[in-house]
Amino acid sequence: MASMITPTMLVVILLLCGLDYASMFQVLDLTHDLSAKTLYWPGNPSYNFTELARGQMDNFWYESNFIATAEHGGTHVDSPAHFYEGGWRTQQIPMERLTGPGVVIDVKDKARDNPDYRVLLNDITEWESVNGRIPDNAAVIMNSGWGAKYPNKTAVFGTETPSVPSTFHFPAWHQDTVTWLINQRHVYMIGVDTPSTDFGQSSTFPTHVVLSKHNVVGLENVANLDTIPVSGTRIFAAVTKIKDGSGGPARIFATISTEDEKCTNSGPLRLPLSVLSLICVGVATIMFMYHDEQI
């Protein structure tokens, strides 16, 4: 009997080892184009794109351009220096603070009914009751559905007068929720799919202040949040490394890999593989002892 079971076990183990090596890796872009349609807060200089060259040279085709942009427009990063004296400027943010486990808080229904909605602690506890505790050092991003409105200026700012901030209506974070995430979950980044981590009607920007004060990075106008799962991803906020910047245009994206899942919790194959190993040894031992009795 042993000589029947054991080879089978060998094959299964080898199979699982093989499967365990095959890993899936995906990278998903969460960034709006930087263009003449890029949305900036009122008062910022407008975006400029200038062709320096575009055409056939003697030996080759050649294109080259020049751009000018405010730091805080489109999909971008708020550095801690943005709202706190002495906070990290863009080039000072440690690289490891620009990546972390991705957590997406879906408040689309609430924001549809109330464009002034602010993410509450309740939304976080609801998320955790379904998806488990938010891992430390995460990038926690609000998905309000606003990303779909971009770059429609009046729709995104929620006003017919997009040059007048006092008329803005769009959702964002409540400062108490962010304070809790900083103290209780040690978040590295807080994001929104709207123009500001403070909601449209804010004039004192308390969320910006608490983020900057704790050297937490802000992510604004994050795109395509419906294309990633609410957990199990890794977020990267690759901000242009502007010396002495208060932020900057960023390439924000998510990676999904079976390996990441193994890191965050339990690998789909690692555990069975280990358990199976134990079973094999167990079975062989029992049969061995069973035989002892036979003697």
- Residue 179 one-letter amino acid: T
Nearest to 206, CA basis, from 175, 182, 252, 170? 175
Instruction: Provide φ and ψ at 139, rounded to 5°.
Output: -105, 110
Residue list 234-273, contact with its own copies (CB under 8 A): 236, 238-251, 253, 255, 257, 259-260, 262-263, 265, 267, 270-271, 273
Task: Figure out which of the listed residues 63, 113, 160, 293 binds its own copies, where binding follows CB under 8 A.
Answer: 63
Q: Which of 13, 120, 121, 148 binds its own copies (CB under 8 A)?
A: 13
Is the Cβ of residue 124 or residue 269 nearer to its own copies in the bound state?
269
**19 is a contact residue toward its own copies (CB under 8 A):** no
Amino acid letter for position 73: G
Which amino acid is it at 253?
A: F
Q: Does 11 bind its own copies (CB under 8 A)?
A: no
Residue 56 near its own copies by CB under 8 A: yes
Nearer to its own copies by Cβ, of 94 and 113: the residue is: 94
- Per rule CB under 8 A, is residue 122 in the interface with its own copies? no
Task: Please state the φ and ψ torsions of residue 31, each to the nearest 5 degrees.
Answer: -125, 130
**95 in contact with its own copies (CB under 8 A):** yes
CA angle 215, 184, 88 (to 5 degrees): 5
Cα–Cα distance for residue pair 1/206, rounded to 1 Å: 71
Binding window for its own copies (CB under 8 A); candidates: 61-69, 128-136, 169-177, 188-196: 61-69
Q: What is the nearest approach in angstroms of its own copies to the Cβ of residue 113?
A: 30
Amino acid 142 reads M
Question: Which residue from 10, 154, 161, 226 is in contact with its own copies, where contact means CB under 8 A?
Answer: 10
196-235 footprint of its own copies as x/- string (CB under 8 A): --------xx--xx--x-----------------------
Q: Which residue's structure tokens are 């872009």?
A: 29
What does the chain come to in residues?
Answer: 295
Measured CA to CA, the distance from residue 255 to residue 140 in angstroms comes to 15
